[in-house]
Amino acid sequence: MSFLEYAPAPESQAILNLRSEYGLFIDGEFREGHGTPFASISPATEKHIATISTADAADVDAAVAAARRAYDRTWSRMSGADRGKYLFRIARLVQERSRELAVAESLDNGKPIKESRDVDVPLVAAWFFYYAGWADKLDHAGLGANPASLGVAAQVIPWNFPLLMLAWKIAPALAAGNTVVLKPAETTSLTALLFAEIVQQADLPPGVVNIITGAGATGVALVGHDDVNAVAFTGSTPVGRAIAKSVAGTNKKVTLELGGKAANIVFDDAPIDQAIEGIVNGIFFNQGHVCCAGSRLLVQESIHGEVVDRLKARLSTLRLGDPLDKNTDIGAINSSAQLDRIRALSDIGEAEGAERWTAECTIPENGFWFAPTIFTNVSTSHRIAQEEVFGPVLSVLTFRTPAEAIAKANNTPFGLSAGIWSDKGSRILAVADKLRAGVIWANTFNRFDPASPFGGYKESGYGREGGRHGIASYLTSGTPARPAVAAAVTKPKTVTKGATK
């Protein structure tokens, strides 16, 4: 037998206790939505997982009203230390239920269990722990003493890291004293609904966190709602642009974290084996469904051949298949629509004259799959070098000098992230200084930490999430857009300004 054909090692689904139907989570309880329910399927098998409610305009109204009530009556008047206690409790519950959450995420999203288990869920807990610590230290958020919360935050998140994006949005918003209405992506509502159960378990006051499900129309109604004070969106640039237009002229504070086309720059003195790992992790992590993915590989011309050879050898060892198998490296593409887009852009790459290479792997019969693919002979004018593919597709370009590397790396409408590989520290600093990207990794890629701000330049959006900047996004040094009604008796420090107006 072949040892490398590891025997199946599937993570058990027995730990999951899913309901067949999920309603909307409003004011601390689940209720049916008024829109037409839709099915959530597993992208790996196309099997039905659960039926999910759709929130219509009336449901959005109800959710925002619940958030407003909770903001006015409890959350904005609670001390930061007490808000922190709730967040710590949520963080611990996430850890306690981590296996269950990981299995649900892999089932619903298609990402390998080793990623949901080792990356997504631990980071979710880390985000809540981190911002729990901020809740009573808002004076140090950089906005002066007694910054005020904003009010009700409308949050719309994407399908690539469903639970992690939820944590990125909810944790800082709650720590700062806001209440939230969050809409997960249509194809990946499941873990947000499990999170709603955690919110109940944590005994969070009703209405502080509301989760409504549905497609684009639900998101439009939420973002456009008059009684919303802050809008946070992570997703595609076209949708982000539409949101920016819809909130223009209102008082809503907006953060947008949009697309990317990151350059991963490999100099000829790079630690080569680790650079190969970093390239693989940069673009094939989470099937390339990562806004900050290193989708443009810029290799110094003198080592181009060697890097491509090593890369192909390494890609040939990746295992594509059942996301719940603990040895799977590449899971399923999240939806058939996304698969169509990846295929279309790859075909265009070939038509434009780039050389296509695909790792040999068996594609399962059902579900949505795309084998790891690299394009060589790519020029900056090719569409696959310009547009975000959002899939396991890498474009390889070359450069001759650091100046050329910088120019090519910046030659994109995006500016979310970039990577630099070199053994020479001074070169890393000099190049990083000239790259227009929000996050720059040196000799690593796709590493996240709650203490580090994350966000983009140009069409990659504005505002920062994570770190002190992330909490500042949910605070104002002035009075909140709609102050809390009653004067605070128990002197909740963080809302003094709003409350005493």
Partner 1 sequence: MTGTQIVPGERAIALLGGEANDANLRRYLHGIPGVDAVGLEQRAAGLGTRSIKTTSKAWALDRIIGLIDLTTLEGADTPGKVRSLVAKAVTPDPADPGCPRVAAVCVYGDMVGHAVQALGSAHGDPDQGKIAVAAVATAFPSGRASRSIKLEDTADAVAAGADEIDMVIDRGAFLAGRYGQVYDEIIAVKEACRRADGTSAHLKIILETGELNTYDNVRRASWLGILAGGDFIKTSTGKVAPAATLPVTLLMLEVVRDWHRLSGEKVGVKPAGGIRASKDAIKYLVTVAETVGEEWLTPHLFRFGASSLLNDVLMQRQKMTTGHYAGPDYVTID
Q: Which residues are near partner 1 by CB under 8 A?
A: 1-9, 114, 118, 269-275, 277-278, 317, 326-327, 423, 443-444
* Selected catalytic residue, list 100, 115, 186, 257: 257
Task: For partner 1, give the closer residue by CB, 306 or 347.
Answer: 306
Q: Is the Cβ–Cβ distance between 402 and 430 less than 8 Å?
A: yes
Task: For partner 1, give the closer residue by CB, 5 or 433.
Answer: 5
Q: Minimal distance in Å, beta carbon 98 to partner 1?
A: 15
Computed on alpha carbons and rounded to an integer, the radius of gyration of the chain in Å comes to: 23
Task: For partner 1, give the closer residue by CB, 200 or 444.
Answer: 444
* Selected catalytic residue, list 100, 186, 291, 465: 291
Task: Calculate the CA dihedral of residues 114, 199, 240, 59 and round it to 10 degrees.
Answer: 130
Non-local (6+) Cβ contacts of 74 within 8 A are 205, 208
Q: Is the Cβ–Cβ distance between 447 and 291 less than 8 Å?
A: no
Positive or negative: CA dihedral 240, 241, 247, 252:
positive
Q: Minimal distance in Å, beta carbon 159 to partner 1?
A: 25
* C-alpha span between 156 and 320 (Å, rounded): 30
Non-local (6+) Cβ contacts of 402 within 8 A are 267, 427, 430, 431
Nearest partner of 76 among 402, 485, 501, 421, judged by Cα: 485
| Helix, strand or coil, per DSSP, at residue 174 | helix
Q: Minimal distance in Å, beta carbon 424 to partner 1?
A: 10
Task: For partner 1, give the closer residue by CB, 316 or 379.
Answer: 316
Q: Minimal distance in Å, beta carbon 282 to partner 1?
A: 12
* C-alpha span between 336 and 43 (Å, rounded): 8
Task: For partner 1, give the closer residue by CB, 274 or 500.
Answer: 274
Q: Minimal distance in Å, beta carbon 322 to partner 1?
A: 12
Q: Minimal distance in Å, beta carbon 272 to partner 1?
A: 4
Instruction: Count the neighbouring beta carbons within 10 Å of the beta carbon of residue 306.
Output: 13
Query: Is 257 annotated as catalytic?
Result: yes
H-run or E-run covering 358: strand 355-358
Structure-token pair, residue 463:
């505002």
- In 206-266 the beta strands, taken as DSSP E runs, fall at 209-211, 230-234, 253-257, 263-266
* C-alpha span between 100 and 125 (Å, rounded): 14
Q: Minimal distance in Å, beta carbon 2 to partner 1?
A: 7
Structure-token pair, residue 340:
């169509």
Nearest partner of 188 among 42, 394, 319, 5, judged by Cα: 42
The set of catalytic residues is 257, 291
